[in-house]
Amino acid sequence: MNTPTLPEQGRPETEVLDDLKDFARDDPDYRNQRLWSLVYHLDEGHDDFAASAYRQYASANGLNPAAFQSLKRMESEIVAMVCGLLNAGPDGCGVLTAGGTESCLMAVKTYRDMARKTRGVHRPNMVIPATAHVAWFKAAEYFGVTPRLLPMNAELATDITRLNRRIDRNTVMVLGSAPEYPHGTIDPIAAMGEIAARRRVPLHIDACVGGMILPFMAMNGVDLPAWDFRVPGVTSMSADLHKYGYTSKGASLILYRNLDLLKHQMFVYQDWPGGVFASPALLGTRPGGAYASAWAVMQKLGVNGYRDLAARTTEAVEALKTGIAAIEGLRILGNPQGPLLSFGAADRAISIFAVADQLEARGWSVNRVQNPDGIHAMVTARHRDVTHQYLSDLAESVATVRADPELARSGGAATYGMMAHVPLRGMVRAKVLDVFSEMYRAGGGKLHLDDQTRPSLPERLMARYVDWKARRG
């Protein structure tokens, strides 16, 4: 393959735009709701509106809030609106970030630095559920904070009976999720808040998924446990606008109960030759289009619009729960309480990863979870239109796998099954790192899990595992 180079002469705009359309040829079909993650799509008209708002501020930069005061106004109003939804109180404050991961990173950085400054902590740890989003493990690695895990109980919920014992003088924060990603369960945040407050440790709630839908589900009468700033021990929250807020990509929030907490997030350098520099979050340049799109979409939808979207999402989730429970050999994993769920096999004769392969053969994009193995669905309002077809294809897929057990030993089922169950996890990490890094070679392509690649990865892992076992006798 030839490595792409910058063209000597600029190309016609129409030709370039046609190429962009062609690039998407093999992308997931999210416009017809065949994708259950990554994209929160309402319709082309909504996309056009959000893009129009984005375009008005596409060149604007939120790096210096004194320069683009329009962006600072939008950010302040967005923060105020969501602080109100999440009951942050009169002193609530926060920052617009580029996504959920930046929000998570900022919370860890903030509480590490606060503990270092106020308590002299130099070997920081944080207590997080085993089901916490992987962004928290990334933050732990980036900022040198040791994660102490709260395990799952038999119901796949976070076991907080060990929380008090996990906290020590070096604990900089505790984390709860609303909901957690793997199974859609809301952590027992009221109980976590009581323990955190008693031990005087900050409690952050990761509501990147739930922050812009759980309030409206509650308004619609859905019974939810306490999960936001109304819990006294909660000191900060993260909420993604580009998920169930349906804004353009690149908009999340990190919110704090007061400015004394937020100050520990901020970076100030006073001796730079370029001038005194201050930054509220991780990024320097902050794309103004994301501010404008977020503000505009929230104004367009309003409370009633979001309540309607939440109602349609809830209807789709409940239809999926009922339909999955009715298919012999399947079970819902955990206790999903929000807009996402996972399901696995209740019958050992069924490989859930083989079922996933069959769903993909029928045109669905499928996400898989592990420990326990399952299929994941992040449900949006538009999925209500396709739940019947999805459940029909799911039932057919289960029947196909039940009739042919060999399907569990080929295709993606072999890859994901092996990756999930090889006991030497460092081996898995090293091999995934090799494959993943190849995607970022200059001019490189995408990750291909075709029929040739799929068997090779688990076979190599198994060969290494067998060799290790032999050497250990």
Question: For the chain (length 473 residues), average pLDDT per consecutive 10?
Answer: 85 94 88 86 94 94 87 96 97 96 97 98 97 97 98 95 97 98 97 98 98 98 97 97 95 97 94 90 90 96 98 97 96 96 93 94 93 95 96 97 88 65 64 70 60 48 52 54
CA 73/CA 245 separation, integer angstroms: 19
pLDDT at 414: 61
CA 354/CA 413 separation, integer angstroms: 5
Q: Which amino acid is at 24?
A: A
Task: Tell me the two tokens of residue 168.
Answer: 């020590």
Per the CB < 8 A criterion, the answer to whether 113 and 157 are in contact is no
Q: Closest Cα partner for 374 from 429, 323, 420, 308?
A: 420
Q: Which amino acid is at 315?
A: E
| Neighbour tally for 300: CB within 10 Å | 13
CA 407/CA 413 separation, integer angstroms: 7
CA 318/CA 112 separation, integer angstroms: 40
CA 239/CA 206 separation, integer angstroms: 7
Task: Tell me the two tokens of residue 293.
Answer: 């799109």
CA 151/CA 371 separation, integer angstroms: 12
3-state SS, residue 255: strand
Give CA separation, 33 vs 27, 245, 267, in Å.
13, 17, 41
Residue 253: HSE in the Cβ half-sphere, 13 Å Cα cutoff:
35
Give CA separation, 132 vs 149, 160, 208, 332, in Å.
9, 13, 11, 19
The structure tokens 């996504």 sit at 99
Task: Tell me the two tokens of residue 179.
Answer: 């909901």
Peptide bond into 12 cis (omega under 30): no
Give CA separation, 461 vs 74, 89, 295, 423, 456, in Å.
51, 52, 48, 10, 9
The structure tokens 């239109």 sit at 385
Per the CB < 8 A criterion, the answer to whether 192 and 160 are in contact is yes
Give the chain's domains with CATH numbers.
Answer: 54-299 (3.40.640.10), 422-471 (no CATH)
pLDDT at 419: 61
pLDDT at 454: 45
Per the CB < 8 A criterion, the answer to whether 259 and 79 are in contact is no
In the sheet with 340-345, reading across from the earlier edge strand, the strands are 330-332, 340-345, 374-378, 367-369
pLDDT at 418: 58
**CA angle in degrees (0–180, nearest 5) for 414-416-417:** 60
Q: Which amino acid is at 147?
A: P
Tell the burial category of 426 from Cβ atoms under 10 Å away from its Cβ (0-12, 13-18, 19+). exposed
pLDDT at 463: 54
